[in-house]
Homo-oligomer: A and B are copies of this chain.
C-alpha cells in the first residue's frame, strides 16, 4: 500500500524502515540461537538490566515473562545496581541488557562488574561498542535507525524462546512466523495513525504539562515517550502514571482543560485503562486515547495481540507523535541542554 500510493509520513523513510525491518526479522534467528544456548547451559534467574529508555523497553520483557511463566525475573536499574548490588544476582544468573549507542555509562560499568564475576551477559547492541566488547554474547540487527518496534521483536525472539524451551510458551514458532511481515503492517498502521498524530500534536504539543496514562505491556513505552522523548527531547513537563495508580492521587488534578493522553493496550490491564478512560472523559475535555486494538496486524492470531501491542504503541504514541510534536514545537528532537553534552 505504501509504495503504490506513494504515501508520505512526516520525517520517516518508509523504504529504509522496511529494509531495517527485514534485517530485524532476519536477526531473530540469532536471538533464538542465543536463547537455545542459554537454555542448554541452564540458569537460575534472569536479570533485565537497563536505565532510562532501555529500562523502559525491558519492562515489556518483564511483563511477558511474568505473564507466561514462573521464571524468576528481575528488572533492575543499572545505576542502582552499581551502588546496591543484588543478593539474587549469582554465578548462574543470566543478565540481559541493551544499549543502542553501546556506551551508556551506567550499563557499561554494571556489565564490567557482572562479567568480572563470571556471570553471563547477553547484550542487544553492536559488537564494536564498549558494551558489545564486554558482553558474553551480542545480539544485533544491522539497522540504519534503532527503533523500539525493532528492539521489541528482537527481545521477544529471545525471551519468548527461553519461555518456549521451559514449556511456558508453546506457540513460539507460530508467533515468529506470524510477525514476519509485522513491519509492513507497522507502516500501514503509521499511515492510518498519521491524521490522528497530527491532530493530537496540534492539540497537545504546546501544552506546558500532560498526564500520560498506560499500564501492563505498554507501561514502559508510555514512560519512554513521556520521559525520554517529551522531557528529554522536547523539554515538556509530563506525568506518567499507571492506570491503577492514577486513582490514588493523580486523578485529583483532572479538570476541564487538563491534558491527558491514555494509551490502551490489549492485555489483562486493559480494564484498568478503560476505567481511567471513563473517568477522564467525564472530567476533562482535553483527552486523547490511543488504542492499539484499532490497528490491524494481518494474519495474527488474537492470542498474540498483547505481544504486538507494544510495537503498535512504539509506532504511534512514540515514533509518530514525536515527529508531529517536533513539527509543532519547532524544537529539534536531537537538541539537548545537558544530556551527553558534557560530564556531570
Chain A positions near chain B (C-beta within 8 angstroms): 51-53, 55, 66-67, 69-70, 72, 77-80, 83-88, 106, 208-209, 215-216, 227-228, 231-233, 235, 237-239, 241-242, 244-245, 247-255, 267-269, 271-272, 275, 278-279, 282-283, 336-339, 344
Contacts and interface: CB of A to CB of B under 8 A. Distances in A.
B72 A72 contact: yes
A52 B248 contact: yes
B86 A66 contact: yes
A138 B29 CA distance: 53
A88 B45 CA distance: 13
A13 B54 CA distance: 47
Nearest to A211: B237
A338 B252 contact: yes
A219 to B, nearest CB: 10
B336 A252 contact: yes
A60 to B, nearest CB: 14
A279 B343 CA distance: 10
A235 B209 contact: no
Nearest to A224: B249
A245 B79 CA distance: 8
A79 to B, nearest CB: 4
A231 B245 contact: no
Contacts of A272: 79-80, 83
Contacts of A53: 248
A334 to B, nearest CB: 12
Contact of A209 (B52, B209, B231, B278): B209
